[in-house]
């Protein structure tokens, strides 16, 4: 009954206001991009071969696209004949998906969850399985897909405490949706408890880790670390602060912190800007403050290090240069940029410091904080105080670094495990 009421109300509301909505789009141009796909008009995306196994994955935005990429890669090994369709809620997510996935993956915008549109899309895509990533639940789509015999699986499931409180208000509707899934694989035990609280069946819930952070060290990790130490000419005892993926404004904030710390200790500062086109502005900033620095590319070519400030001016080195860090700050977090992947440092047994803007990687922060290996600081002063705390308690800091590595390694194999769950459901195994 809740589902029927939802379907009728959504249908009446949408189609009654559709002429006005279309008029607004034509007049303002807003939401015009991708409108046809929102209405389920995808062109020719039907099956060419009736024997083809078709898997539809839905990822809300860029973060989920990364997870989908890992799962698709794991599924291809088991199901080489499958065709994959990936839908996203954002045009940015769709663009990233098209750039990062193989060309045979159909990347489109998700349809509106309204009658007729959903029916048309299910007929067009004709999936054998619908894989929902994290918690992007569209009741009408899920009910209608299940009614057609499409297997439903939710992977990499996560639910914040705030979302859980909100979902409990509509448990009468959500419980019925969740019960349509054959399996639900969640990131952590707290996520499992929250899914149970909003109506998911205990028998179908398992904790499998976070596929976005299924990271491994290079096979030559030890040799790689020594190569970086050699290129940077790091003597024993020299402490290293790595500021990874910094954004505009963060270097200005971090520079006085480095100067103060450097007055008390021998400290090497490695700055890795997120966007390399900002290199001239960063160099100008340091020159203005008469701060000597090297570009990392210079040291790689054999230049002798004279200064204790290094600008990482190459792509692909940051994830590995964390190996030589004593302290790690994750950029994009002291300015409002949503943070970056702090687990890239954690896998090297590094505790991670980050500012309050970590909306894009809140789940990673929660994993680290759950084992006291991630530390949020409100501003540069708090960051400085935390580094001093670590220096004054080396045993405690060493423990935090060990726990960071442990929680990062606990995510390994997540993509393979979740791909195995999908295969079990496709094969009809419970």
The whole-number pLDDT of residue 64 equals 85
The DSSP element (H or E) to which 167 belongs, if any, is: helix 161-168
The whole-number pLDDT of residue 24 equals 85
The whole-number pLDDT of residue 31 equals 74
Structural domain of 395: 221-409
The CATH number of residue 227's host domain is 3.40.50.2000
In a domain, 243, yes or no: yes
In a domain, 98, yes or no: yes
In a domain, 8, yes or no: no
The whole-number pLDDT of residue 162 equals 87
List beta partners, residue 154. 132, 184
The whole-number pLDDT of residue 130 equals 97
56-85 b/e (C-beta count within 10 Å ≥ 16 → b): bbbbbbbbbbbbbbbbbebbeeebeebbbb
One domain for residues 349 and 298:
yes
In a domain, 14, yes or no: no
In a domain, 6, yes or no: no
- pLDDT by residue for the chain (430 residues), tens digit each? 788 888 999 999 999 999 998 888 888 877 778 899 999 999 888 887 777 899 999 998 777 888 898 999 999 999 998 999 999 998 878 988 888 888 899 999 999 999 999 999 999 999 999 999 988 889 999 999 999 999 999 999 988 888 899 999 999 889 999 999 999 999 888 899 999 999 999 999 999 988 989 998 988 999 999 999 999 999 998 999 999 999 999 999 999 999 999 999 999 999 999 999 999 999 999 999 999 999 999 999 999 999 999 999 988 899 999 999 999 999 999 999 989 999 999 999 999 999 999 987 888 998 899 999 999 999 999 999 999 999 999 999 999 999 999 999 988 999 999 999 999 999 874 4
One domain for residues 285 and 380:
yes
Q: Is the dihedral of CA 392, 397, 399, 400 positive or negative?
A: positive
One domain for residues 319 and 422:
no
One domain for residues 240 and 189:
no
One domain for residues 173 and 143:
yes
One domain for residues 305 and 405:
yes
d(CA 398, CA 284): 36
In a domain, 262, yes or no: yes
The whole-number pLDDT of residue 342 equals 96
Residue with tokens 């505009």: 248
| Crossing angle (nearest 10°) for helices 117-125 and 139-147 | 50
One domain for residues 242 and 368:
yes
The CATH number of residue 153's host domain is 3.40.50.11720
In a domain, 27, yes or no: no
Say how many domains are in the chain.
2
Cβ-contact 79, 153 below 8 angstroms: no
d(CA 98, CA 107): 6
One domain for residues 238 and 127:
no
One domain for residues 230 and 187:
no
d(CA 176, CA 393): 51
One domain for residues 290 and 343:
yes
One domain for residues 240 and 209:
no
d(CA 392, CA 216): 31
One domain for residues 387 and 315:
yes
Cβ-contact 59, 110 below 8 angstroms: no
The whole-number pLDDT of residue 430 equals 43
In a domain, 7, yes or no: no
The whole-number pLDDT of residue 47 equals 82
């Amino acid at each position: 009954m809740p589902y029927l009421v939802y379907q009728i109300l959504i249908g009446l509301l949408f189609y009654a206001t559709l002429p006005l909505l279309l008029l607004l789009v034509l007049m303002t141009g807003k939401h015009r991009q991708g409108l046809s796909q929102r209405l389920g008009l995808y062109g020719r995306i039907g099956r060419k071969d009736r024997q083809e196994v078709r898997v539809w994955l839905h990822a809300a935005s860029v973060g989920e696209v990364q997870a989908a990429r890992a799962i698709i890669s794991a599924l291809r090994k088991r199901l080489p004949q499958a065709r994959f369709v990936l839908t996203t809620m954002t045009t940015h997510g769709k663009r990233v998906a098209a750039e990062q996935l193989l060309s045979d993956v159909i990347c489109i915008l998700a349809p509106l969850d309204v009658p007729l549109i959903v029916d048309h899309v299910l007929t067009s895509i004709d999936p054998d399985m619908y894989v929902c990533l994290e918690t992007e639940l569209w009741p009408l789509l899920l009910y209608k897909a299940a009614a057609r015999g499409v297997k439903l699986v939710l992977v990499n499931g996560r639910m914040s405490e705030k979302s859980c409180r909100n979902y409990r208000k509509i448990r009468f509707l959500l419980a019925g949706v969740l019960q349509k899934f054959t399996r639900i694989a969640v990131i952590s035990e707290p996520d499992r408890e929250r899914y149970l609280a909003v109506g998911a069946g205990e028998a179908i819930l398992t904790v499998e880790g976070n596929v976005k952070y299924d990271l491994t060290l290079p096979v030559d990790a030890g040799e790689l670390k020594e190569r970086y130490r050699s290129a940077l000419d790091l003597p024993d005892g020299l402490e290293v602060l790595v500021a990874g993926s910094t954004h505009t404004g963060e270097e200005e904030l971090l520079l006085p912190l480095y100067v103060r710390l450097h007055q008390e200790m021998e400290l090497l500062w490695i700055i890795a800007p997120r966007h390399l086109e900002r290199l001239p502005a960063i160099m100008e900033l340091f020159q203005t403050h008469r701060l000597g620095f090297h570009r990392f590319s210079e040291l790689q070519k054999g230049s002798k290090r004279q200064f204790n400030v290094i600008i990482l001016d190459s792509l692909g080195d940051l994830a590995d240069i964390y190996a030589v860090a004593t302290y790690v700050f994750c950029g994009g977090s002291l300015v409002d940029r949503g943070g970056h992947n702090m687990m890239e440092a954690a896998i090297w047994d590094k505790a991670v410091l980050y500012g309050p803007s970590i909306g894009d990687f809140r789940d990673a922060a929660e994993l680290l904080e759950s084992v006291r290996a991630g530390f949020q600081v409100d501003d540069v002063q708090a960051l400085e105080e935390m580094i001093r705390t670590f220096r004054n308690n080396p045993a405690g800091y060493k423990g935090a670094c060990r726990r960071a590595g442990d929680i990062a390694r606990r995510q390994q194999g997540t993509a393979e495990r979740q791909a195995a769950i999908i295969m079990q459901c496709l094969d009809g195994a419970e």
